[in-house]
Structure 1
């Protein structure tokens, strides 16, 4: 009996030594889980033969239990190395056999599959061509091909337009010249659309000059008035008359004053006469030779202009000094009036003799004097640019211009802006003809763009061009622009895209771009891989894009201790472990993924060395039992 007892102890101690030695040998093995030996005592007893003081029959190894406690996580320089922080196992496909492991030392084989050091393929949830993860589990494969370009079909702009900006576009009424006779004795009242009140010009005198009329009218806000007097001398004043006259004289009087001094010595032509007039000390007087009635076939005529609009009297003839000249011709000035868009109405004084100015105002349309020009920043309030892409992946610059307009209606509760769109220097979206109109409410929120409450602009007339201005071969406008709907379905078949400005606001703050993003990109090469905490493998490309290539799957078991080790730091499912519960990392009870990391062995080397000493002592002690039993037996044999 003693021999059997000691022998069982030797066997048990030997197993303990083997398990401890295996733990020590794998202290640096990634993902290794240490084991411990569990012993049980033996008793030789039958169904009815158990005594009151039975003697044990030794020891036996009941189980070699694995410890699945968390190992330390250490960082590596391999982007595909993964460590599980928490519960779960990686799922590996070993030629059709499914294995489970905590060792996350992964790389890529020649076919792009994610594998471990034994070429077992890592399983997970695959992704489609657009990077959308599916619920289908399979072998994870990294596509190393270039990322195909994607055309822009949607551009979202989140902007704030500064409500404090002024209206830049200036609409004016530019009248035909008004004679002083039309204005003498008249009074005028100007009414304004911005609610600033009326302005009344007192009635002009019946003898008012053009300069006096212009000064009185020019005092009204939003009104500009100037006056000039033009005298065209066509009553026989020719080059021939000047050159043949023995005593040629010309006198110009301004507003009934004495004639201005002229030096006509040696003057023999109209051009020389004009030069003599321009040489006087009166800078308001100028002269030139013009075609008569703009007909170059007729003789030239002398034109004299007084820039202030004072009355002119001009006389000329062939008379010695001191002799009177023929009667002077009198010329009255003209008034040029311009009103801006704030002037809504002009009414003449009811006591006036006529309504010439009022009639002229009503008959004169508004004209734009500083029409939108994308290369002149004075003609728009705000602009912002972004890059979009055609079907070939070529980049193009889209610029949005915003021009503040007068408030619609009475200017209360609404604001209005015009929107122009330009791609590579060419206006698109029909804005070369008519801009889009954005309406904002009293709270600065966008109400609509061209009546669309969603604030969407569908551009259907863009022709992608190369730097020389020629079509570059990419998809062009749709054959039927009216068939384009929002959102544009995939795959797109034209250059049409949607600009969404639904989040645009108009507050009293500086213009700013809060967000601007579009869904197009050029082609790109794979430049790196990243793994998220949820085990999603992201591919990074040289065009700045990233795409999900798949997601690592993890498996958990109700009885982890029931897994059977099969080497290479892997386990297989058994009846005792139960079926695996498979899911994405960081969901349910499954742990998260630590990228560029591995889980070290959970073996405590210090504890194993102590266990090694204990196992050694146990072995020696059991060997001593056998030795002692042998000595006793030998003593009995030696009895004579």
Structure 2
């Protein structure tokens, strides 16, 4: 009996040494979770239970339990490296084409494979929630996960439909005599001009030039007000001297003279008509030679434009069109939203990292490669998003280190060694007793 007890102690101590050695070996493994040996004593029992004088029958290994406490975050120079600060696992598919075979990991060493999919070192694909559109504000389909493919993308062009101008028109300018009809080729027929580049549906550039003509104050509808006519012409960059008028479709003139719009300022130089500074333009009357759709600028916004005694100046000029662009980078925010950035200044939402947690992490099946799988003891997977429903935040450009404390493990190694030696000594002692008994005649 003492031999059996001591052997069980040797087996338990050996298991403890193996677990401690495995912890030490993985001290630098990203996303690794340390384990500990958990023991239970053994008693021989009969129908009457265990006698108060029955010695124990040894020890058994009850469990090798992993400890899922947070590891330290180490920042890297790779923005595809991801770490979870808090609860949750990254959700992985066996491959970009085998998305039903799932595993879970805390190791966020991701990279692009040759097809442009975001994968880990074992080729398993990171799953994300599919975006509803290319914009974050339109949300994500959280019930649908998919691999994310990035480097085959092109930044798609976007046609201009809004132009914002904040200007100052010089109050000291002379008005243009009505005997001089407006002519964009004759600088004597207008006071100021400014240009911006706009884009058609194929991303081709066009030059939109806006001309300002001051009217005779005597014709103003109210005392102390000033009026300016606004004309818009479009031209191609290759032929900038060829201008095509773009009529106004709505605005202060109500369409009565669609070739121009009108800005009205009060005696303090504030724009009062249109009050919101907006009017629209009709389609570019010449179809772009590239085959793109006609350019239609729905909103010309002059809100913030003034007329004071300062030289004509452009204080702000923006438009929302984009040419075609190439992929220049990938960004991932703390909610796991993946953005592709393009050389045209645009960005596209590629997806939102899908996280998963379980009721019992210790019940997960150990798959190796710092990954776990669902089991009967783990409970059902609970899908979610970073920063919501008890899920942690995602840190891009960082990795979660192993949670192994080397100092503690080295101490545990000494303890396990002493336990092993002590159990071996029990066997030695028992052997000496047996030899003594056998030598008695």
TM-score range (shorter-chain normalised) is 0.7 to 0.9
For the pair 1:50 / 2:56, whether they are aligned, the reply is: no
Alpha carbons of structure 1 residues 60 and 141: separation in structure 2 relative to 1, 3 Å: same
Alpha carbons of structure 1 residues 48 and 82: separation in structure 2 relative to 1, 3 Å: same
Alpha carbons of structure 1 residues 525 and 170: separation in structure 2 relative to 1, 3 Å: closer
Q: Partners in 1 of 2:129 and 2:400 — Cα distance?
A: 22
Q: 2:252 corresponds to which residue? A: none
Q: Partners in 2 of 1:446 and 1:455 — Cα distance?
A: 11
Bigger mean CA offset, 72-81 vs 628-637: 72-81
Q: 1:500 corresponds to which residue? A: 300
- Kindly report which structure 2 residues correspond to 1:182-331, keeping only aligned pairs within 5 A, or say none: none
Residues 416 and 440, structure 1, Cα contact 8 Å, conserved in 2: yes
Alpha carbons of structure 1 residues 446 and 57: separation in structure 2 relative to 1, 3 Å: farther
Q: 1:472 corresponds to which residue? A: 289
Deviations 1:53-72 (A, max 9, x none): 44222222121111112222
Q: 1:400 corresponds to which residue? A: 210
Q: Secondary structure at the match of 1:576?
A: coil
Q: Partners in 2 of 1:375 and 1:592 — Cα distance?
A: 61
For the pair 1:438 / 2:438, whether they are aligned, the reply is: no
Q: 2:334 corresponds to which residue? A: 533
Q: Partners in 2 of 1:583 and 1:417 — Cα distance?
A: 57
Alpha carbons of structure 1 residues 158 and 60: separation in structure 2 relative to 1, 3 Å: farther
Q: Pick from 284, 304, 312 the counterpart of residue 461 of structure 1.
A: 284
Q: Secondary structure at the match of 2:174?
A: coil
1:78 to partner: Cα distance:
3.2
Alpha carbons of structure 1 residues 48 and 495: separation in structure 2 relative to 1, 3 Å: same
For the pair 1:156 / 2:163, whether they are aligned, the reply is: yes
Q: Secondary structure at the match of 2:21?
A: helix
Q: Partners in 1 of 2:354 and 2:267 — Cα distance?
A: 53
Residues 265 and 307, structure 2, Cα contact 8 Å, conserved in 1: no
Q: 1:428 corresponds to which residue? A: 245
1:401 to partner: Cα distance:
3.3
Q: 1:169 corresponds to which residue? A: 175
1:170 to partner: Cα distance:
4.1
Residues 80 and 110, structure 2, Cα contact 8 Å, conserved in 1: yes
1:515 to partner: Cα distance:
5.7
Q: Partners in 2 of 1:392 and 1:139 — Cα distance?
A: 29
- The CA RMSD over aligned residues, in Å, is 3.0
Provide TM-score, normalisation by structure 1: 0.59
Q: Secondary structure at the match of 1:619?
A: helix
Q: Partners in 1 of 2:222 and 2:303 — Cα distance?
A: 26
Residues 247 and 281, structure 2, Cα contact 8 Å, conserved in 1: no
Question: Structure 1 stretches (4+) deviating beyond 6 angstroms?
Answer: 441-445
Q: 2:33 corresponds to which residue? A: 33
Q: 2:315 corresponds to which residue? A: 513
Residues 87 and 591, structure 1, Cα contact 8 Å, conserved in 2: yes
Deviations 1:155-205 (A, max 9, x none): 13152545x72353144xxxxxxxxxxxxxxxxxxxxxxxxxxxxxxxxxx
Alpha carbons of structure 1 residues 49 and 81: separation in structure 2 relative to 1, 3 Å: closer
Aligned residues: 415
Q: Which runs of 5+ in 1 are unaligned?
A: 172-366, 465-470, 476-492
Residues 370 and 379, structure 1, Cα contact 8 Å, conserved in 2: no
For the pair 1:581 / 2:406, whether they are aligned, the reply is: no
Q: 1:97 corresponds to which residue? A: 101
Q: 1:121 corresponds to which residue? A: 125
For the pair 1:70 / 2:76, whether they are aligned, the reply is: no
Residues 157 and 513, structure 1, Cα contact 8 Å, conserved in 2: no
Q: Secondary structure at the match of 1:48?
A: coil
